[in-house]
Chain A
Amino acid sequence: MSAPATIDFRSKVFRYGSFFFTGLTGAATYLILAILAVILVNVVLHGWPGLSWRFVSTIPKKDIFDPATTGILPMIVGTSIRVILMTNFVVPVGVITAVYLTEYAPNTSWLTQIIRAAVNNLAGVPSVVFGLFGLGFFINFVGKNLDWVLHNGQKAWGQPSLIWASLTLAVMTLPVVIVATEEALKAVPPGLREASLALGATKLETILKIVLPQALPGILTGGILAVSRAAGEVAPILFTGVAYYMSSLPTHLTDQFMDLGYHVFVLSTQSPNIDRTQPILYATVLVLLILTFALNIVAILIRSNMRRKMRSLH
């Protein structure tokens, strides 16, 4: 009997195509990561020396470019307040809309398709158009009419202020909350809903007692992402409430406010002496970045934790 023919599986050809292609796409990936790293490192390196407790807790005098006396407290406060206000509007509306879409809406209905399309479209509207919307609708329409009704035409509400900026941002971040909440609601196993209904719970009771509590981490993620996004946006607040300089912190809904992102813009473009201003510019950027980044990372952590838990539940 002759020996069986051996089949040699060792590769005889160095697969150039494979190496090249994988190399190229891998390079693309790492290049993107490198860009991210460069930006971050640059900001941290130049911004860190400029950071100080005094810096973040001082209200600056008229000359906001003077490194010795300036501070960013009003900007931090302004950014925070407008974002917190926004959350109060966007989270309830967003969660309720997502609940409707997931739990109640008939899938085949054309109205449902339109709602989804509208959410999709809101997500794609340019931020400066939101600014125009805030000006054209909230300030010039709602505000003016409120003034007409409440103050007999005197200007109180019909001008740029915290409330309108926050509402504008709420409209802008609505899709973020809706999408995140929907994802969380869909992840709740349908068996839980069935069990609750079979025990004689109404649909609303089931949603309130079983589904929403389960979906809470996802809803939280959505809120955090909305906050992070809104904190960094400047274009929507340009015409709806941000001010170049305010000597005191905002206290009323009708007040204007200062803002971290806008301050970065001002320092970058209107400084009389860019070299002198550069350290505080970097420090401001760093503070803004810490704010938005920290929020983003928290949201991502919650989400991946949630996904891990979901996998073990099924």
Chain B
Amino acid sequence: MGIQRGHQAHPVEWLAEKGIFLISLTAILMVFLIFAFVTREAVPLLLGQMNSAARQAVIPAADMDKTPPEQLRAYLGLTSDQFAAMDHDTKQLLMEAKVDAGKEASDDKDAAVNTTGWRYLFEPYQWTGYDRPAYIWQPVSTIKKYNLVPLIVGSIKATLVALLFAVPLSLGAAIYVSQLARPRVKEVIKPTIELLSGIPSVVVGFFALIVMATVLQRLLGYESRLNAFVAGIALGFAIIPVVFSIAEDSLTSVPRSYTQAALALGASRWQAAWQVVLPAAIPGVFAAVVLGFGRAMGETMIVLLASGNASILSWNLLDSARTITATIAAEMGEVVEGGAHYRILFLIGAMLFVVTFFSNMLAALVMDRLKKRLEGKT
């Protein structure tokens, strides 16, 4: 198929074409690299190679030189730089300290538990000192607890509030701007709403923390000033531009002939919009919501500033909450490289990536089908 082109005559051109092609593979490469390298740090955890038990097998100080360096480093809880910088004697001292600590080690029944096991990540467990099984995320403690459920619930709570707040508003505005407003008005309003996306999320979070939290607490009188509700509303601000612009585009790309047919039959503008255009654009609206969901789940600074950051498991929207993203952002600076905590953070990062990846694919698929359907008809 196709006519053979005389490449021999223009080698530079041919070379440039190949170069252009290779460079455009960057996008694919990047997606792959992101997944690969974020997961890479979580792999030892996934393979069950990490042991975060409080009471670890103690290596006798005399055996220090028999221990492989990497294992020794992990045992002593040092980063590679610290380990490399430390001299033999200091390491020996640390080994002896560990032996002593082992003798005094907690008699806590949970001290021997490897808290990075899947069971502890997702299922409730009755830790010492608690009167019933609970989902606890408490990485900084003698017994390190890494249950992910409070974080997942926190993210979902905030996202839910965001969607409940933003979707009706955005959809309403999209219908108004696309179907009901005069063209001149539309030309001003549309870019202005999209200007909302020009506000950095840290500014929205700041606004929620400093202004909104106080106002909302005074209005509604709940206990925690910073909670999933406040964070959710602020998240809503952030996703309104996304949901609005996709919904509006979908509504506008419904062929005018549908609207005109309805109007010619005596429908009012809103009847035409509600009964004819909106149903036709439903896939686009759906995609907009899905993308809004993905955006809200992935947002970091707003929840970091406004959600209260208490990693308790509660479905009450007015309780302080901790999301997956805020956890990664807040705790990554404190972890030991290569340790269990470090790897868990990468793990939840990878999980987040997978969730948003699939929600993106879903939205893209739906939009694609909508586009094909409309093009087939146009």
Contact = CB atoms under 8 A, between A and B. Distances in A.
Contacts of B31: 118, 121-122, 125
Interface string B165-186: 0001111110111001100000
B232 interface: no
A123 to B, nearest CB: 8
B23 interface: yes
Contact of A264 (B28, B34, B191, B206): B206
Contact of B23 (A96, A131, A133, A204): A96
A160 to B, nearest CB: 10
Nearest to A300: B191
Nearest to A105: B24
B329 interface: yes
A288 B360 contact: no
A179 B345 CA distance: 32
Contacts of B103: none
A126 B24 contact: no
A29 B24 contact: no
Nearest to B12: A204
Interface of B is mostly: helix
A178 B27 contact: yes
Name the residue in A96, A117, A132 with the highest tally of chain B Cβ atoms < 10 Å from its Cβ.
A132
A285 interface: yes
B39 to A, nearest CB: 9
B169 A28 contact: yes
Interface stretch (A30-38, A80-88, A209-217): A30-38
B359 interface: yes
B297 interface: yes
Contact of A125 (B34, B168, B305): B34
Interface of A is mostly: helix
Contacts of B319: none
A64 interface: no
Nearest to A178: B27
A25 B172 contact: yes
A79 to B, nearest CB: 11
Contacts of A238: 329, 332-333
Interface of A: 15, 17-18, 21-22, 24-29, 31-33, 35-36, 39, 42-43, 93, 96-97, 99-101, 104-105, 114-115, 117-133, 135-137, 140-141, 155, 171, 174-175, 178, 202-204, 228, 231-235, 238-239, 261-262, 264-265, 268-269, 278, 281, 285, 288-289, 292-293, 295-297, 300, 304
Given A115-B24, A117-B364, 9 more contacts: A120-B364, A131-B332, A132-B38, A133-B37, A136-B40, A137-B33, A232-B201, A232-B203, A233-B200
Interface of B: 10, 12-13, 16-17, 20-21, 23-28, 30-31, 33-34, 37-38, 40-41, 81, 168-173, 175-177, 180-181, 189, 191-196, 198-207, 209-211, 237, 240, 244, 268-271, 273-274, 291, 294-295, 297-301, 304-305, 325, 328-329, 332-333, 345-346, 349, 352-353, 356-357, 359-361, 364
18 contacts: A18-B268, A18-B270, A21-B274, A25-B172, A28-B172, A39-B237, A100-B21, A123-B360, A126-B298, A129-B352, A137-B34, A232-B201, A235-B300, A261-B200, A265-B202, A265-B304, A268-B210, A297-B195
